[in-house]
Amino acid sequence: MVRVKEIRGVCDIMKVGYYFTVDGSRLRLPNNQYFCYWALNSILPLLPAKQRKIDEPEDWLPATWEVECPDPKGQVILEMIPLEEKEE
């Protein structure tokens, strides 16, 4: 899940608590919630990597769970929250 953790400034699209879930290559947003295109672009490159097990000792990605939107007026802090894997 990716959730808006904090907004330091002004964001006219999202609110704290807005979120989407990732299921494979599908993004699921709750009804009547929007997600900013720019914020989405800041986090999309990390999502496939976070879905894999990373065990390289010097890799920074396992310890990174927050990303900041590039909008200097909004400073939206996005948090990646791992969800339990489904059994198949």
Alpha-carbon span 1 to 8, nearest angstrom: 21
Position 75 pLDDT exceeds 60 = yes
Average pLDDT over residues 20-39: 89
Q: What is the mean pLDDT of the chain?
A: 84
CA angle 21, 55, 79 (to 5 degrees): 30
Domain positions in the chain are: 2-80
Looking at residues 68-88, what average pLDDT do you find? 79
Instruction: Report the predicted TM-score, pTM, of the whole model to 2 decimal places.
Output: 0.80
